[in-house]
Amino acid sequence: MLEAFGNGGMPFTGKNRASLFLISLFFMWSSLFSYSCTANSLSQGQLVRDGETMVSRSGKIELGFFRTENSSLRYVGIWYRKISFKTCVWVANRDSPVSDESGVLTISSDGNLMVLDGDHRLVWSSGINSTSVPTNSTAVLTDAGNLVLLAKADADTASADGHVSNAYWQSFEHPTDTFLPGMRVRVNSAAGENHAFRSWRSLNDPSPGNYSMGIDPRLPPQIVIWGQSGREWRSGHWNGVVFTGMPNMIGNFQYGFRLSTPEEDGSMYFTYTPSNRSNLLMFRVLWNGMGEELGWDETNNESTVLQKQPAKECDVYNKCGDFAICNEMGSPKCSCMEGFIPKSPDQWKRGNWSMGCTWKTRLQCGNNSSISVGDGGRMDRFLKLDGLKLPDFADYFSATIGDECEVKCLENCSCKAYAFVRGTWCMMWSKNLIDVEHFTEGGMTLQIRLANSEPGTESKISNLRMIVCAFVGVFVSGITVFLLWRFKDNLKGFLFDDIVKSEELCLDLSGPDGLASDAEQVGGPHIPVFDFSSIEAATNVFSEENKLGLGGFGPVYKGKLLGGQEIAVKRLSRKSSQGVEEFKNEVMVIARLQHRNLVRLLGFCIQGEDKMLVYEYMPNRSLDYFIFDPAKRAQLNWKKRLEIIEGIARGILYLHRDSRLRIIHRDLKVSNILLDEEMNPKISDFGMARIFGGNENEASTNRVVGT
C-alpha cells in the first residue's frame, strides 16, 4: 500500500542522516536550477509546488496539492479537471500530509517520485528500488488519470488508455479509493491475494478508512465491499459477461468489463472500458462503506451518481440469514426457502431475521449411517428457484450440461445446492446458503437439495397428485385424439415442418438440389456443414474469452479447429432481426464468390434454432476498430489508407462487374470491412446482398435495408 513508502513526516535519525543530507543537497540544487512544471510530464530538476499543477495532454486530468474542507493539511492528488469541484481519484501521501503550503513534488536523484515538506523532509516516495529505475526517469500524467514513472526516452509512449506496460511505477497499481477505466485490478486465487481499494477515513480525511473494495480471490470472482466486521456487500459472481447479482448491469456494462486469462502465477486482471471513451466515469468506495459509480454529465456540467451499492435493504450482506431469501417487494422482506422453517420463530415474527432458517426435514444423505452416499442421494430431491442472486461461498468446476452438476451434488452429501452457468461451469454449495436475493427481473436459477419426503404430508400429497394426474391425463388424451382425427390433414404438414425445420435448411443449403448444384453452375466450391460439437470445442463452448465482438445479427467468436486452423464463428442471435432468408442468402452469396478482397466462408452449422457461419479469421478485426480510436488511428498512415480504399474498391468492382453474378451488397460500412494479418481489406456480411441477373439493371425490394 502507499502508506508503506512514507515515514509519516518524522525527521531522519541515525543511519538515515546520510539520506537526509543527500535529499537536502538535492533540494538546494533543484531550487537553484529547476523550474516549475506546467505540462503533463515532470523531469528531474523540475518541481510541482503547492499551487501549481500538472495537466494531462488533453486537459482532462489534473495533479497538484489540495486540502479538504476545514483542514490546513495538504495532500498530492489527481482529479478530473472538468468537474467544477475536486473529486480526487488518487492521493499520494494520504496518511502523511504536509502541514502547510511549503510542499513540493519532484523526482529524486535515484529516480523515484517524492513529496518533500518545507523542512526538506521526505513525506512520501514511490519507493522503487534504486537499481530498478534509471536516474533519468520521467513522470507522465496520462489522460486516463494514471501517474506513470518511466524512462525519459519512453515518455511519449505512455498510453492514454490506462495501464502502461513499460512503467517502473504507476499510480494505477497503487490505487486509493477509486477504480478508473483502464485500471488493471489484480487478483490471484491461488495465493488468495487481491488488490483492494481503501476508503477515506471520513468525508474530509483522505487517510485509510474502515472500508475496502476489491475482487474476491475466490472463484468465480465477484466484487466485495469489506468492513471492520467482514463483508458488507457483494456484486454476485462473474459469469463471463456481467456480475450476476447486479441485474441493472446487463444493459449498462455488458461489454465493458473483461477478465484476463490466468497467468503463470495464477494472477488475473479485471479491466473496464466504457463504450464511449469520452465519458468520465469512476467507481469508488466511500468513507461510509457505500460503493458509488459516478459519471460526468457534460450537457449540464455536473457529476451524476449513476448507482450506489448497497442501494436497498436486500443489498445489505446476508440480510435474512441462512437458507432465506430477501425480496424487496415482499412483506416481510425475508422468507425461508421452500422446505425450510425459521430457526427461531419468535425472533422471526419480530423482524429479527439474522438467525435464518433450517430444514423442515433433514436430508437422507449423511443423516443415517446405514444409508450409503448413493442411496441417500437418490432419496433427496432438488427444488428449482428462479430469478436469484446466488448464495455466497460457492465451489465450482467446469461443466457443459446441467445434469453433470446434479450428479456431482447427489454424490456429495455435503452439497446443499447447485447452479449451472450455461456453457461454462457448475457451482456447488457445501456451506449454508447465505446472502440470497430475489429479483423482479433477471437473476440466476438455483437448485436446492431437499429430503424426498416430509412426515405426515407426503403420502397424502402423493395420492392426491396421482388422482389428479390420472384424471387430467385421460381428459387430455381424449381431447388430443379427437383433435388429431378432426384436423389430421391440416396438422400433418404443420407438425412435420416444425420437426425437420433445421434439417431442411441444411439440405436447402448443402444438398444436391440446393447450394451444391448452384455452386457447380457458377464454378464455386461445395460448402461444408460443420458439426455443432466441433464448433463448441473450437470456441471453448462460446466462452467470453473467445468473443471478438458483437455484429449486427449476433456475437462473433474466435476458434481453433482440431487441425489448428483459426476461424471466426458468427452466431446468429435468437433475438436478431436476421431471419432464415438472410442466413441462407449470406451462405449462398459468399459461396459463389472468390476474391482476395472478400471474406472467405469456410462453412456453416445449424443446430435447432442455432445458426452459425464459419469464416476465415481476421486478426486485425474491422476497419472501424482503427479509424474511430484516436490512438489506433495513427497506425494507418496515408499509404496504408490508400491501399485499404483501393482494396475495397476492387472488391466492389468484382461484385458489380467482374463476377459471373452481379451482386449489390446493400450494407457496406466500416464495421463490415475486415482486415487480415497484413491489413488487407475484406468485405463481409452479405446477409442483405441482392443477386441480379446478367442483364438486369434494377430490381424491387419489399423492405428498407442497409446503413
Burial 45-65 (b: 16+ CB within 10 A, else e): ebbbbbeebbbbeeebbbbbb
Q: For the chain, what's the residue count?
A: 707
**Rg of the Cα trace of the chain?**
32
Q: Which of 151, 165, 161, 152 is nearest to 182 (CA)?
A: 161
Element (H, E) at 481: helix 458-486
DSSP letter, residue 323: T
Q: Which residues contact 125 (CB under 8 A, 6 or more apart)?
A: 5, 6, 108, 112, 113, 114, 115
Q: Which residues contact 187 (CB under 8 A, 6 or more apart)?
A: 193, 194, 195, 214, 215, 216, 217, 221, 267, 268, 269, 270
Contact in structure between 649 and 699 (CB atoms under 8 Å): no
Contact in structure between 291 and 213 (CB atoms under 8 Å): yes
What is the C-alpha to C-alpha distance for residues 365 and 457, in angstroms, rounded to an integer?
20
What is the C-alpha to C-alpha distance for residues 118 and 99, in angstroms, rounded to an integer?
9
DSSP 3-state percent helix, strand, coil across the chain (nearest 5): 25, 30, 45
Annotation says 667 is catalytic: yes
CA angle 454, 458, 461 (to 5 degrees): 150
Contact in structure between 276 and 286 (CB atoms under 8 Å): no
How large is the angle between the packed helices 458-486 and 488-499, nearest 10 degrees? Answer: 110
What is the C-alpha to C-alpha distance for residues 536 and 561, in angstroms, rounded to an integer?
10
Long-range contacts of 116-119 (CB under 8 A, 24+ apart): 116/23, 116/27, 117/9, 119/11
What is the C-alpha to C-alpha distance for residues 88 and 97, in angstroms, rounded to an integer?
15
Q: Which residues contact 521 (CB under 8 A, 6 or more apart)?
A: none
Long-range contacts of 537-545 (CB under 8 A, 24+ apart): 537/562, 538/562, 538/567, 538/569, 539/569, 541/400, 541/423, 541/424, 542/423, 542/571, 543/240, 543/423, 543/424, 544/240, 544/241, 544/259, 545/240, 545/261
What is the C-alpha to C-alpha distance for residues 669 and 598, in angstroms, rounded to an integer?
14
Element (H, E) at 472: helix 458-486
- Helix/strand/coil (H, E, C) string of 649-676? HHHHHHHHHHCCCEEECCCCCHHHEEEC
Selecting among 205, 395, 508, 667, the annotated active-site residue is 667
What DSSP letter does each residue of 81-114 carry, written as one string? Answer: SSSSS--EEEESSTTS-BSSTT-EEEE-TTS-EE
Query: Do strands 41-43 and 137-141 pair parallel, antiparallel, or not at all (unpaired)?
Result: antiparallel
Q: Which residues contact 252 (CB under 8 A, 6 or more apart)?
A: 306
3-state secondary structure of 400: coil
Q: Is 703 exposed, middle or buried (0-12, 13-18, 19+ CB in 10 A)?
A: exposed
Catalytic residue IDs: 667
